[in-house]
A and B are shown apart, each in its own frame.
Chain A
Amino acid sequence: MINSVSAKVKVDPKDAKVSMAHFYVAFIALALGGLMGLLQVLVRSGKFELPLGIGYYEILTTHGVLMGLILTTFFIMGFQYAAVSKTAGTHSNAARRAGWIGFWLMTIGTLMAAAMILTNKASVLYTFYAPLQAHWIFYLGLTLVVVGSWVDGAAQIMTYAKWRKNNPGKPSPLLTFMAVINTVMWIVATLGVASTVLFQLLPWSLGLVDRVDVLVSRTLFWYFGHPLVYFWLLPAYMAWYVVIPKVIGGKIFSDSLARLTFILFLLFSVPVGFHHQLMEPGIDPAWKFIQVILTFMVVIPSLMTAFSLFATFERYGRSKGAKGLFGWFKVLPWNDARFTVPFIGMVAFIPAGAGGIVNASNQMDQVVHNTIWVTGHFHLTVATAVLLTFLGVSYWLVPHLTGRKLTKSMNKLAIIQGWVWFIGMTFMSVAMHLEGLLGGPRRSSFSTYGNSQQALDWIPYQIAQAVGGSILFIGIILFLIIFINLAFFAPKGEEEFPVGEAENLEEKAPLVFENWKLWLGITAVLILFAYTVPFIDIIQNAPIGSKGFKTW
């Protein structure tokens, strides 16, 4: 890659501080969210009750918000900020100021939302569906998180634009390109959630209006909610495509293929939100079907990714003299946490993806919708594939940023951490999938439903989830020990920021990939196509709207 010339060896210490600030908040969220997760599995096993009259939905809201919204957004913004600084050059003072402003806006917003949840004024779960009504400070806090992430994203875009100006006619560094695609997708997506919060939920929770249109609000939420999951996934893909090849000593299979994959995700992530509303009345089935087809388009970049990762591994293995169909598998560097931990994540993405195809299969969603199967599914996607990749990245990025080293013993503990997560998640996720197929609901505390046989049959699976969840909690503690070591105590030294090179350096990425007018144009066309008619329909046939409910 041409770009490695302009890139600095190390992320500038001033930029490192911005990233580390994001990581502190992210991992505090992981610690507290993990504790809530543990409580949930214990409650759902039927062997434990929450003390002091704490409600189940209060802890579940805390878990969903901290894990799904706070941990992810903070980590991603910190990682992408560092990745851009490393590959496109140190951020300008203006961009760095944006990084700090974004960080503080997000942090203040988080504290506001957390205060409302902890005082039991916002047990509305992380999807905050109307007509459940939270305190307005909760919505305002989440708004600040989103606005802060935009400012954070602006920092990355500024540095990308500067690089383009200084390097006319050249494709931008791959990691920077990927970070910018993800940021742009995020901005497009959050317009939906920002609209429902600003125009519906805030005025309604402030008492300025009495009623809210539930379907409009949920549709705007899912316009955002699906790309949200790709916003989590793409930074993991950045690590898989660019970092892992370098860690194992191999090459990126193809730079252009990686860029094309990211562009396809930009195009097909947004106009698909209806696949979360397949069971919802009030939306024309024909439009649901159209969005299901668009959903299946993301199978293409997903399988492109699987192919090129396998190819990277096989090429590397064969260069080491591995023979046979799968000989390359054995020579991969299993003793290197920077490889093994994300690799476990990649493996988890196989059943995760297969389950996702089931969920999206229109009528088949009836089998699994709102069952604990869905929870099993996204603990494989975000809580394993994405999370283990983020942790694997932290194992080199945190010491890189703090000027320390990942020692041999910490590397070993990190590998143990990865396998502990794998074991815990196998228990919890398999049990969730099976219980879901037997009809066990998600988002519910323990109940035998008047000793109905069906509900009694779920109990063994809930016990298995409690076992798995407890093991997962140990995994979180192990991670926190390593993180604190890497941030404060590990010996001073240089830890590499691994950035892979493409196998074929002559292959220059086509410049059309950086034609934002084109890609944003197609994105807009697809969104307008998928949403305009059904949205008009929803508004024209709207009921009078609902008053707010507080069910907790």
Chain B
Amino acid sequence: MAKAELKTEQKTEIEDSSSLKGTLASVFFLGLFIVITWVSVYMLFVERF
């Protein structure tokens, strides 16, 4: 009984080895970085021109 319980607990922790959630997070970070860079220079542009 106790053994079976342990097993189910472990199962929830095992990740699908084909998961690409790190990739998803990475491309989101990349997108965010681009947006931040762009907006910063855009603010300079609005201020100056």
- Identify the A interface with B (CB < 8 A): 303, 306-307, 310-311, 314-315, 317-319, 323-329, 350-351, 353-355, 357-358, 361, 363-364, 366-368, 437
- Are A306 and B41 touching (Cβ within 8 A)? no
A355 to B42, alpha carbons, bound, how many Å? 12
A60 to B17, alpha carbons, bound, how many Å? 51
A368 to B15, alpha carbons, bound, how many Å? 46
Contact with A along B10-36 (1 / 0, CB 8 A): 000001011111110111001001100
A492 → chain B closest CB, angstroms:
40
B40 → chain A closest CB, angstroms:
9
**Using Cβ atoms and an 8 Å threshold, which residues of chain B touch A361?**
38, 42
The tally of CB-CB contacts under 8 A between chains A and B is 69
- Are A364 and B33 touching (Cβ within 8 A)? no
A310 to B19, alpha carbons, bound, how many Å? 12
A324 to B20, alpha carbons, bound, how many Å? 11
Chosen A-B contacts, 15 in total, with CB atoms closer than 8 Å, are A307-B27, A310-B22, A310-B26, A310-B27, A314-B22, A314-B23, A327-B22, A328-B22, A354-B33, A354-B34, A358-B37, A364-B42, A366-B49, A367-B45, A437-B44
- Are A319 and B44 touching (Cβ within 8 A)? no
- Are B17 and A318 touching (Cβ within 8 A)? yes
- Are B23 and A311 touching (Cβ within 8 A)? yes
Partner of A367, one of B18, B22, B23, B44: B44
Size band of the interface chain B makes with A: 20 to 34
- Identify the B interface with A (CB < 8 A): 15, 17-23, 25-27, 30, 33-34, 37-38, 41-42, 44-45, 48-49
- Are B25 and A306 touching (Cβ within 8 A)? no
**Using Cβ atoms and an 8 Å threshold, which residues of chain B touch A326?**
22, 25-26
**Using Cβ atoms and an 8 Å threshold, which residues of chain A touch B42?**
361, 364
A306 to B27, alpha carbons, bound, how many Å? 7
Q: Assuming A310-B23, A325-B25, is B41 touching A358 (CB within 8 A)?
A: yes
**Using Cβ atoms and an 8 Å threshold, which residues of chain B touch A364?**
41-42, 45
A271 → chain B closest CB, angstroms:
23
Chain A minimum-CB-distance residue to B49: A366
A363 to B34, alpha carbons, bound, how many Å? 18
- Among B18, B19, B23, max chain A CB count under 10 A is at B23
- Are B20 and A353 touching (Cβ within 8 A)? no
Question: Which 8 pairs between the two chains have the least Cβ-Cβ distance?
Answer: A354-B37, A310-B23, A310-B26, A314-B22, A354-B34, A318-B17, A311-B23, A358-B41
Q: Assuming A307-B23, A314-B20, is B34 touching A357 (CB within 8 A)?
A: yes
A35 → chain B closest CB, angstroms:
33
Chain B minimum-CB-distance residue to A299: B34
A21 to B45, alpha carbons, bound, how many Å? 48
8 additional A-B residue pairs with CB within 8 Å, beyond A306-B26, A350-B30: A303-B30, A307-B27, A310-B22, A323-B15, A326-B26, A357-B34, A364-B45, A437-B41
**Using Cβ atoms and an 8 Å threshold, which residues of chain B touch A366?**
45, 49
- Are B38 and A318 touching (Cβ within 8 A)? no
B22 → chain A closest CB, angstroms:
5
- Are B15 and A318 touching (Cβ within 8 A)? yes
Q: Assuming A306-B27, A350-B30, A366-B49, is B41 touching A311 (CB within 8 A)?
A: no
**Using Cβ atoms and an 8 Å threshold, which residues of chain A touch B25?**
325-326
A268 to B46, alpha carbons, bound, how many Å? 29
Q: Assuming A367-B48, A437-B44, is B21 touching A358 (CB within 8 A)?
A: no
Chain A minimum-CB-distance residue to B13: A323
- Are A306 and B38 touching (Cβ within 8 A)? no
Chain B minimum-CB-distance residue to A361: B38
- Are B22 and A351 touching (Cβ within 8 A)? no
- Are A319 and B37 touching (Cβ within 8 A)? no
**Using Cβ atoms and an 8 Å threshold, which residues of chain A touch B33?**
350-351, 354
**Using Cβ atoms and an 8 Å threshold, which residues of chain A touch B30?**
303, 306, 350
- Are A363 and B49 touching (Cβ within 8 A)? yes
B31 → chain A closest CB, angstroms:
8
A264 to B35, alpha carbons, bound, how many Å? 23
A310 to B23, alpha carbons, bound, how many Å? 5
A8 → chain B closest CB, angstroms:
33
- Are A319 and B17 touching (Cβ within 8 A)? yes
- Are B27 and A363 touching (Cβ within 8 A)? no
**Using Cβ atoms and an 8 Å threshold, which residues of chain A touch B45?**
363-364, 366-367
**Using Cβ atoms and an 8 Å threshold, which residues of chain A touch B41?**
358, 364, 367-368, 437
B25 → chain A closest CB, angstroms:
6
A325 to B15, alpha carbons, bound, how many Å? 10
Partner of B37, one of A310, A311, A355: A355
Partner of B27, one of A303, A323, A329: A303
